[in-house]
Structure 1
């Protein structure tokens, strides 16, 4: 098991993923300045919204509903199947609420599905 090739490997260096495991005095500001990776799906949504000549209210509706959908799933568009739309409709009916805490109306659910 102790072959010469294994002895020539460099030591493994562990890199902490959270602030608690950083040594004292480590520059914690660096983490605050880094931005999370951009979700390519959202970039495509923005391209769609910019490329279409939509009325301001329509644009807001599409943006809100597509943002909600992307928050619900991590799937890319080519991975979506009919069952996912059924699951999303169920999510809209049972989980999503308005600002006042009411269930979404049928027209709001339909708008959410139509935006996709």
Structure 2
């Protein structure tokens, strides 16, 4: 069992958890609109995000209102996000999908990952 855990750790640190666990990359705006846009994404703490088809972002994080906008750019979801009107993030993320689980990897796939459930 220890060897399996070490192998998984090695895979996730070298290629990212989503890539190591057979997720499919969402690499086109068409795929993003088909599988993600207009649906509610929920994180492990109950926070929500909706990427509207018109380029808007809505949701809730704790008791704060999430808003912003998104565009698709060179294979990545680029967005600016605000919490209760205060700018908190501008980033382009690579997205990976398996079943109803979406992994968003920050900085075009070169940084940390966020895990969401598609509802």
Name the TM tier (shorter chain): under 0.3
What TM-score comes out, normalization by structure 1 length? 0.24
Higher strand share: 2
Greater CA radius of gyration, 1 or 2? 1
Higher helix share: 1
What TM-score comes out, normalization by structure 2 length? 0.23
